[in-house]
Structure 1
Amino acid sequence: MAFSAALPEIPLQACCWSTVSLPHARVAEIGRLATAHTNAALVVSCQRLEAYSPEPCDCPASGRLEGTAALFHLAEVAAGLHSVVLGEREILGQVRRALAKGPVPVRGLGDIAVSAARDLRRETRFESHAGHLLDRALKVGGVPAAGRILVLGTGQLGRLVAGRATELGFSEVVVAGRAAPASPLRSAVFVQLPGLGGLEPFDVIVGCLGSNAPEVPVEALPPARRLLLDLGTPRNFAGLPQAPSLMLADLLAEEQCERPHATRRRGALRARVRTLVEQRLERFAATGAAVTELRMEAERIRQAELARIRRLHPGIPADAAESITRSLVNQLLHRPTGRLRASGDAWLARSVAGLFSERP
């Protein structure tokens, strides 16, 4: 679909950083740059940090997009098309929560991006979740799914990786954390994170600690016989491991270089979600015309009532009557007209606007 010139200009700028497998100091530096955007929605995931604002910015972001390009990118991120695990489910909720805290113009455009991402997910089958990163790492490292595995972290990523390790056939799955998980771990043993160095060697050790966790020196870990896998952002492990090691960034690079079919699929899905965004933007524009008509009818009624107030109550200052009536109408219409725009339902918007019209 060709992007229609009749669609409104998109007042959106995206300042983007990749945080995949960066050290703590660099992630903290990026965090300071991103949080300096005071009038923005901050999208934070284990792989990216992005600020979406309705106004231009000259910050030193490693990537910057404007207008429709920024909106397309936001939809791609929400759909999981920029995640290491294609179609990652968790990112959609992260984007929604970030947009809810953003300024009103960004929230409205964000609704379009999130809706397009949902449309894509409804019509596309994504079979992987974050736990399948273990499969990728074992394949890249040439390591069999056998023996003992230690997973650091009891959050969502840690639980998914531990569950996948059980499915793949590891004989013993141990999960370490600072506190016991809220719900039982399936086919896994829990141990406290401090004092891991005294445990027997593991075939594979996987870091799935959250962004606020401090780095774990490799010397504090039990020996890893075959693979040390760091899935954390920032990095979970510090120091030089004795065993072969991989990070999240290595898995992303491997896809780009060694899995052309996966790269092609990402490209095709990005093209599709952009088409879905364009379709929603066109419906948004059609809905916007009806909302504008509704606003004009409401303003006509307000002006008539304002004239009546001035005639019946000449003691009320004209500027006070103007301010009060304008504020009242805006307060009454702000939420419903915002929801009408976001719905993209032009028929509904025209029907509601017709209720305010003098025409039968």
Structure 2
Amino acid sequence: MALLVVGCNHRSAELGLLERIAVPVDELPKALHSVVALEHVTEAVIVSTCNRVEVYAQVTRFHPGLQEVRGWLAERGDIHPQDLDALQYSYHDDRAAAHLFAVAGGLDSMVVGERQIAVQVKHAMEVARGEGTARRVLQRVFSQAVSVGRRIRNESRISEGASSMVDVGLAAVDASRGIPLAGSRVAVVGAGDLGGLAVRRVADLGAGHVTIWNRSPDKAERLATKLAGTVSHAVVSRLDAALVDAEVVVCTTGAANTLIGSELVQGVLEQRRCNAEDRATGTPSPLVLLDLGVPRNVDPACARLPGVELIDVSDVRRLAVRGHTGTVLADARRIVEEEVERFAAWTRAAEVEPTIRAIRTQAETVRQAELERLRGKLATLDDQQRAAVDSLTRGIVNTLLHHPTVRLKELADLGGADPGVELLRELFDLPEGDA
């Protein structure tokens, strides 16, 4: 068995490839089941964000499992596996855990120290657990990753001054417009985690009015309640209605297909011109579209429309700054190393558990058989006496197995349990199926 991760991120691949292999939220269950359907994959979690698509898997055999997961990603992106090799990365066992811990701690993010990735890692685990594709190993490593991310943020200065993709994107909007967001009319498309963060940020920046649109109106309404008493806001059911009065549109959905096409925007621009004429305000203000979706929420052709400025994830990448000192990063990486050793110790202990369990099962079978053989001779005993005999024999078995069990776990913790496991399996004549 081996733990592995195969993925592409903002450093290894262009936005176009990330778009093709991205797994939208509504496709995640199906994608997870298609991964565990691979011959050598027993568990799977998919982390798909605007900056990375990573498949974490527990496989029965490393090399075949690695090729299967690589092939799955290549097929999803409609790219030849050999062409994908130069754009992806893969790690296994301790290095896979180290990578996940670094991701959860914001060390591998475009904006180092950003907090949103911790939420995304936790959500990926929860979906996989709900679908039954994350079981013992992946639940353990992902649960630990969430804790590691929290520890990194609490024990290092990684989050001091850290921003997020939303923050960098909104800074790009300010730079594009030449004026701050304060007082502006902003529409937020999407009410998920990223949409919620966007709503909070634009409110904090003093937006004059916030309009929220989401495919699920109930979710948009719940998000809007969090703005009560902070900023003027509204929820709309039609996407074009969200855009007509906005000066800035922040797109945050995980939709598989483009939501805002050039025809929709052309219609919105025409309506904005009519509204401006009716109000005698002259030319309508430019429309700035900030697209943080992967796949893209906005058709790139919208950038060619007059009066429209489109800022997408590629633009945000160029503005992201990784400005933490070596000391801060070293402190965070030290925490990752400590946590990797904890996971490795758990893994080593887990490797001997099947042998310990098999020995105890065999011993219990022998104990029960001997009690059954002597049942006739014990017939004169009352219930209390029979319970005493049962307790006595159980205690003998536990005492005999205690030292070998403890010693095997100690050897596992030191990384040298394999010879002991082999010897015990031979001495107790344990079948290979119990390994």
- Confirm or deny that 1:46 pairs with 2:46: no
Please, which of 94, 108, 123 is the counterpart of residue 123 of structure 2? 94
Offset at 1:290? 9.5
Q: Counterparts of 2:315 and 2:3 in 1: how far apart (Å)? A: 32
Runs of 4+ in 1 over 4 A off after TM superposition: 19-26, 28-35, 127-131, 262-267, 285-297
- Confirm or deny that 1:275 pairs with 2:341: no
TM normalised by structure 2 equals: 0.57
Q: Counterparts of 2:189 and 2:155 in 1: how far apart (Å)? A: 35
Q: Counterparts of 2:47 and 2:204 in 1: how far apart (Å)? A: 30
Matched letter for residue 91 of structure 1: Q
- Segments of structure 2 that go 5 or more residues without pairing to the other structure are 37-41, 60-64, 74-87, 270-284, 377-404, 415-435
2:103 corresponds to which residue? 77
- 1:215 to 1:114, Cα distance in 2 relative to 1, 3 A: same
2:84 corresponds to which residue? none
- Confirm or deny that 1:119 pairs with 2:151: yes
Cα RMSD of the aligned pairs, angstroms, is 4.2
Q: Counterparts of 1:50 and 1:152 in 2: how far apart (Å)? A: 25
Q: Select between 291-300 and 46-55 the one with higher mean Cα deviation.
A: 291-300
1:206 corresponds to which residue? 250
SS at match of 2:22: helix
Matched letter for residue 290 of structure 2: L
Please, which of 158, 171, 181 is the counterpart of residue 145 of structure 1? 181
- Confirm or deny that 1:308 pairs with 2:303: no
- 1:118 to 1:154, Cα distance in 2 relative to 1, 3 A: closer
Structure with a larger share of its residues in helix: 2
- 1:199 to 1:118, Cα distance in 2 relative to 1, 3 A: closer
CA contact (8 A) 1:21 1:235 kept: no
Number of residue pairs the alignment of both structures matches: 306
2:384 corresponds to which residue? none
Q: Counterparts of 1:218 and 1:269 in 2: how far apart (Å)? A: 47
Q: Counterparts of 2:317 and 2:19 in 1: how far apart (Å)? A: 19
Q: Which has the larger radius of gyration?
A: 2
For each residue in 1:144-179, what CA deviation from the matched residue of structure 2 results, as whole angstroms up to 9, or x when unmatched? 224322222233322321222122122232223342
SS at match of 2:95: helix
- 1:92 to 1:46, Cα distance in 2 relative to 1, 3 A: closer
Q: Counterparts of 2:5 and 2:350 in 1: how far apart (Å)? A: 24
Matched letter for residue 63 of structure 1: Y
- Segments of structure 1 that go 5 or more residues without pairing to the other structure are 1-9, 315-336, 347-360
- 1:190 to 1:57, Cα distance in 2 relative to 1, 3 A: same
Q: Counterparts of 2:5 and 2:294 in 1: how far apart (Å)? A: 21
CA contact (8 A) 2:181 2:206 kept: yes
SS at match of 2:221: coil
- Confirm or deny that 1:27 pairs with 2:22: yes
Q: Counterparts of 1:305 and 1:283 in 2: how far apart (Å)? A: 32
- 1:308 to 1:253, Cα distance in 2 relative to 1, 3 A: farther
Matched letter for residue 94 of structure 1: H
Offset at 1:260? 4.5
SS at match of 1:150: strand
2:417 corresponds to which residue? none
Offset at 1:278? 3.0
- 1:134 to 1:93, Cα distance in 2 relative to 1, 3 A: same
Please, which of 199, 211, 215 is the counterpart of residue 174 of structure 1? 211
1:157 corresponds to which residue? 194
